[in-house]
A and B are shown apart, each in its own frame.
Chain A
Amino acid sequence: MLSRVADSLYWMSRYLERAEHIARLLDVNLNQMLDQTPGTANHRWERLLSSLRTSLPTGSAYDAYILTHALTFDLGNSASIVSCIGAARENARQVREQISSEMWEQLNRLFLHVKRTSQDKFWATEPHEFFQVVKQGAHLFQGITDATMSHGEGWQFIQVGRAIERAGATAALLDTHFTNFLTEHPNQMVDYLAWVGLLKSCTAYEAYCKVYTADIRPECIAEFLLLNAEFPRSVRFGVGVIHTALQAIASTTGRNAGRAERLVGRLHAALDYDQVEEIMNGSMHSYMENIQRQCSQIHTALHQIYISYPIDSSLLA
């Protein structure tokens, strides 16, 4: 497979995952605004922006309309849903002959829908519906990908892209929720909503209840989103996906993933055996930061081995 193609498939998948993530966060947040006072709402927006590694548009207050617009429709903001879906589509366009027609059609349809939705229409109907379309569109794309594309090398790069993005995003979300965990003493009711919000932001609420019942406890949430082996949005699960995909790529290309393999194997093992009590007793923040840093190291190593390698190291006949 062409290196450029692998790169585009990887980013196509990453960007779409990012768009879906933003849509879910905004959806949960707008929904929770209905139950909260303006003061706590500001706090939530702050947390949301920080988990997305973006900041308030200059000169604006924590205004739901402005922020939602910036994160949804603003083409000037690279972290908006429209920008991310546009970037995913642009990457797909670069490799149209590599993905199935059904995949391209789905991504293109999603892009056209998002681009055509006017702001007035968005607020006039239910924003929830719009986010629903984005989330479902991304899910549909994933399903179509699994059902219509050969599960070969290209598909593996798609898996890696999605899993790296997802693991990083979940870690960042946990980080922002637990940063001030020990110092804060907000009232119980709001707190409850915040933790449910965190679970819902990862579509994990129902899955969580099946394991821990509806007993909402921060350490259980941390354990579930970080260390659960079966839930597809937990960090451990995501790192496992990266690990498997990297091994598959190494075997199809006949090129050892080397450093990338070591990095992901180590992180995978840590998540397999770490205990939530220990993590919570230490610095949750640095633990989460560490995960994100390792994700980005895996990304770099992967790039150096398969995408932008030096020419003289790989002259084959």
Chain B
Amino acid sequence: MQRMFSPPFTQYQLDTVYDEMFDSEGNTRPHYRALHQRLLELSPAELRQRQQTADITFLNQGITFTVYGKEEGTERIFPYDLLPRIITSAEWKQIEQGLIQRITALNMFLKDIYHEGHILNDGTLPRHMLYTCRHFRREMQGVRVPRDIYTSVVGTDLVRVTDGRFVVLEDNLRVPSGVSYMLANRQVIKNAFPRLFPNYGIRPIDHYGQVLLATLRALAPLQRPDPTIVLLTPGVYNSAYFEHTFLARLMGIELVEGRDLLVHNNVVYMRTTAGLRRVDVIYRRIDDDFIDPLAFRSTSVLGVAGLMNAYRAGNVALANAIGTGIADDKAIYAYVPLFIRYYLDQEPILDNVETYLLFDESQRRYVLENLDKLVVKAVGESGGYGMLIGPHSTAEQREQFRQQILADPRNYIAQPTLAISRAPCFIDGQVEARHVDLRPYILYGETITIVPGGLTRVALKRGSLVVNSSQGGGSKDTWVLYDEPQK
């Protein structure tokens, strides 16, 4: 079944997992044909040259992220892979509808639990699930947020499984990052493969900044006709600082730090050379914990003292709202399909990854018997930490997790090991297959908008399944095609 490929694909191997470019017979999928053809035409030297040009562009423009804990070389470029990941119009339609449905339901869920709590009162969601969630914010109980929108900016992680379906891995409702790489990647690839563009029918993504600005403006207090919108960053040492500057410039709004803002009589001001100026909407890229030392972590120097009071008084809007992290809890995640049925009376368009809740006795028993086949995750962790990957674990590690699960079952969930799809990547002068995921960005203002594209993250190490940038991941451009490919 494995067939020989021509250079630069000689190292390319098909596996049992879904391959984005080739079907299981080794035939190029129709929407990848033009790219495949172009790659066969280019010499390895030409390809390498293009990759180098791209790398230099990233470095000179300072498109970097910060690696914590190392003094030297704390800024790195986010590894960039030259070959685009292509999604057909039909696939995208399904993703788009699925995400709109999901975000609508999640937002209704957030409004419900911070107000009447129907879903708790009728026993659909056990109360203890909510109150044991680290990101539940009692301070938000009864607080009315503008337009009842809690999640203005979301970056949902999807993966494609063996049968070609996209499933949701995580929702990321707090401060999702990476959208700047989506936009920068597109700019760079336009320089690398200009000739592919005219005929491919790729949907543009450049209007993201405009849509984001409109989304934020929709949150402004109504009596403020020309609202001042700012982006609140933790500062230059934050790993996503590049993105904060990028977005602020894209929208033409001020990039502020906590020390630039102050609260007086429950109104937020920023300190400018022309005096203090009132702030109406804050796109905050700081976690709840750090945003107001008076309301949350008192040692935080990144936030603004009194911000929570101004927020409660309705004098300033925050995007995203405080307390949206509940739905990022991996045990709450398991309930999202149920939320969709409960609030919308619809069947989920995008599936969840099957998830075992370990406080349930029968599910726990099954998981403990099958630890070597499953992935166990701590509910509050992210970025690939606090995980047991069953098939790659030792008996000792499994025993350790067994003890931890028994000690605190609410704190863990288990999922089957996923076979996530692979896409062609340019590695050492050859094209090889690597695992990829997909993070589209969803904006919820007057309506829900998803810019056709997203960040495709790739695990550049051979065989690795971890796409996080802190652990050797990179990214590539994502092309969503128009209905009829013009070629």
Q: Do A and B bind each other?
A: yes
Interface-side segment among B162-170, B259-267, B457-465? B259-267
Contact in complex: B236, A93 (CB < 8 Å): yes
Q: Which of B235, B245, B278 contacts A317 (CB 8 A)?
A: B278
> What chain B residues lie within 8 Å of A117 (beta carbons)?
none
Interface-side segment among A65-73, A94-102, A161-169, A289-297? A94-102
Contact in complex: B248, A4 (CB < 8 Å): no
Q: Tell me, in angstroms, the Cα distance from A94 to B237 when the chains sit together.
A: 10
Min Cβ gap B277→A in Å is 7
Contact in complex: B249, A97 (CB < 8 Å): yes
Q: Tell me, in angstroms, the Cα distance from A112 to B271 when the chains sit together.
A: 33
Contact in complex: B262, A311 (CB < 8 Å): yes
Question: A314 an interface residue at 8 Å Cβ cutoff?
Answer: yes
Interface SS, B side: mixed
Q: Tell me, in angstroms, the Cα distance from A19 to B245 when the chains sit together.
A: 26
Contact in complex: B255, A97 (CB < 8 Å): yes
> What chain A residues lie within 8 Å of B222 (beta carbons)?
none
Contact in complex: B271, A2 (CB < 8 Å): yes
A105-B277 contact in complex given A4-B271, A311-B262, C-beta closer than 8 Å: no
Q: Tell me, in angstroms, the Cα distance from A316 to B276 when the chains sit together.
A: 6
Contact in complex: A109, B260 (CB < 8 Å): no
Contact in complex: A315, B62 (CB < 8 Å): no
Question: A255 an interface residue at 8 Å Cβ cutoff?
Answer: yes
Contact in complex: A3, B273 (CB < 8 Å): yes
Interface SS, A side: helix
Min Cβ gap B196→A in Å is 25
Contact in complex: B254, A96 (CB < 8 Å): no
Interface size on A, residues (CB 8 A): 30
> What chain B residues lie within 8 Å of A94 (beta carbons)?
235-236
> What chain B residues lie within 8 Å of A96 (beta carbons)?
62, 242, 245, 249
Contact in complex: A311, B61 (CB < 8 Å): no
A4-B257 contact in complex given A104-B62, A105-B60, C-beta closer than 8 Å: yes
- Name the CB-closest residue of B to A4: B260
> What chain B residues lie within 8 Å of A90 (beta carbons)?
236
Within A283-310, the residues touching B (CB, 8 Å) are: 306-307, 309
Within A229-249, the residues touching B (CB, 8 Å) are: 249
Question: B405 an interface residue at 8 Å Cβ cutoff?
Answer: no
Q: Which of B245, B246, B256 contacts A2 (CB 8 A)?
A: B256
A311-B60 contact in complex given A2-B270, A4-B259, A97-B245, C-beta closer than 8 Å: no
Min Cβ gap B44→A in Å is 28
Question: A1 an interface residue at 8 Å Cβ cutoff?
Answer: yes
- Name the CB-closest residue of B to A306: B273
> What chain B residues lie within 8 Å of A2 (beta carbons)?
254, 256, 260, 270-273
Q: Tell me, in angstroms, the Cα distance from A39 to B272 when the chains sit together.
A: 54
> What chain A residues lie within 8 Å of B235 (beta carbons)?
94
> What chain A residues lie within 8 Å of B59 (beta carbons)?
112
Q: Tell me, in angstroms, the Cα distance from A254 to B236 when the chains sit together.
A: 30
Q: Tell me, in angstroms, the Cα distance from A101 to B62 when the chains sit together.
A: 10
> What chain A residues lie within 8 Å of B236 (beta carbons)?
90, 93-94
Min Cβ gap B252→A in Å is 9
> What chain B residues lie within 8 Å of A317 (beta carbons)?
278
> What chain B residues lie within 8 Å of A108 (beta carbons)?
60-62
What 1/0 mask marks residues of chain A from 36 to 73 whose CB sits below 8 Å from any chain B CB? 00000000000000000000000000000000000000
Question: A225 an interface residue at 8 Å Cβ cutoff?
Answer: no
- Name the CB-closest residue of A to B248: A97
A316-B275 contact in complex given A2-B270, A4-B260, C-beta closer than 8 Å: yes
Contact in complex: A254, B60 (CB < 8 Å): no
Contact in complex: A109, B60 (CB < 8 Å): yes
Q: Tell me, in angstroms, the Cα distance from A97 to B249 when the chains sit together.
A: 5
Question: A261 an interface residue at 8 Å Cβ cutoff?
Answer: no
Question: A74 an interface residue at 8 Å Cβ cutoff?
Answer: no
Q: Tell me, in angstroms, the Cα distance from A31 to B269 when the chains sit together.
A: 54
What 1/0 mask marks residues of chain B from 229 to 252 whose CB sits below 8 Å from any chain A CB? 000000110000110011011000
Contact in complex: A3, B271 (CB < 8 Å): yes
Contact in complex: A1, B260 (CB < 8 Å): no
Min Cβ gap B388→A in Å is 39
> What chain A residues lie within 8 Å of B248 (beta carbons)?
97
> What chain B residues lie within 8 Å of A254 (beta carbons)?
274
- Name the CB-closest residue of B to A307: B273
Min Cβ gap A307→B in Å is 8
- Name the CB-closest residue of B to A3: B271
Contact in complex: B260, A3 (CB < 8 Å): yes
> What chain B residues lie within 8 Å of A112 (beta carbons)?
59
Q: Which of B242, B246, B259, B277 contacts A316 (CB 8 A)?
A: B277
Scoring A96, A252, A311 by chain B CB atoms within 10 A of each residue's CB, the highest score goes to A96
> What chain B residues lie within 8 Å of A105 (beta carbons)?
60-62
Q: Tell me, in angstroms, the Cα distance from A170 to B241 when the chains sit together.
A: 37
Within A124-141, the residues touching B (CB, 8 Å) are: none
> What chain B residues lie within 8 Å of A84 (beta carbons)?
none
Q: Tell me, in angstroms, the Cα distance from A96 to B62 when the chains sit together.
A: 10
Q: Tell me, in angstroms, the Cα distance from A6 to B260 when the chains sit together.
A: 12
Q: Which of A93, A109, A253, A311 contacts B274 (CB 8 A)?
A: A253
> What chain B residues lie within 8 Å of A93 (beta carbons)?
62, 236, 241
Q: Tell me, in angstroms, the Cα distance from A163 to B135 when the chains sit together.
A: 51
Within A249-264, the residues touching B (CB, 8 Å) are: 249, 252-255
Contact in complex: B273, A249 (CB < 8 Å): yes
A153-B62 contact in complex given A2-B254, A97-B248, A311-B264, C-beta closer than 8 Å: no
Q: Tell me, in angstroms, the Cα distance from A105 to B245 when the chains sit together.
A: 14
Q: Tell me, in angstroms, the Cα distance from A199 to B193 when the chains sit together.
A: 52
Q: Which of A1, A97, A315, A316 contacts B273 (CB 8 A)?
A: A1
> What chain A residues lie within 8 Å of B60 (beta carbons)?
105, 108-109
Q: Tell me, in angstroms, the Cα distance from A122 to B241 when the chains sit together.
A: 33
> What chain B residues lie within 8 Å of A253 (beta carbons)?
272-275
Q: Which of A1, A101, A153, A252 contacts B61 (CB 8 A)?
A: A101
Min Cβ gap B185→A in Å is 16
Contact in complex: B276, A315 (CB < 8 Å): yes
Min Cβ gap A113→B in Å is 11
> What chain A residues lie within 8 Å of B249 (beta carbons)?
96-97
Q: Tell me, in angstroms, the Cα distance from A94 to B277 when the chains sit together.
A: 21
Q: Tell me, in angstroms, the Cα distance from A3 to B270 when the chains sit together.
A: 9
Q: Tell me, in angstroms, the Cα distance from A210 to B246 when the chains sit together.
A: 47
Q: Tell me, in angstroms, the Cα distance from A130 to B236 when the chains sit together.
A: 29
Q: Tell me, in angstroms, the Cα distance from A317 to B265 when the chains sit together.
A: 12
> What chain A residues lie within 8 Å of B276 (beta carbons)?
311, 314-316
Min Cβ gap B366→A in Å is 51
Q: Tell me, in angstroms, the Cα distance from A2 to B261 when the chains sit together.
A: 10
Can you list 20 A-B contacts with CB-CB less than 8 angstroms, sorted by A residue number?
A: A1-B274, A2-B254, A2-B271, A6-B273, A90-B236, A94-B235, A94-B236, A96-B245, A97-B255, A108-B61, A112-B59, A252-B274, A253-B273, A254-B274, A306-B273, A309-B275, A311-B262, A311-B276, A315-B275, A315-B276
| Interface pairs A-B: 8 shortest CB-CB | A97-B249, A314-B275, A253-B274, A96-B245, A97-B245, A306-B273, A97-B248, A316-B275
Binding site for A on B (CB under 8 A): 59-62, 235-236, 241-242, 245-246, 248-249, 254-257, 259-260, 262, 264, 269-278
- 14 further interface pairs, Cβ-Cβ under 8 Å (given A2-B254, A311-B276, A317-B278): A4-B257, A90-B236, A96-B62, A96-B249, A105-B62, A108-B62, A109-B60, A112-B59, A253-B273, A254-B274, A255-B274, A311-B264, A315-B269, A316-B276
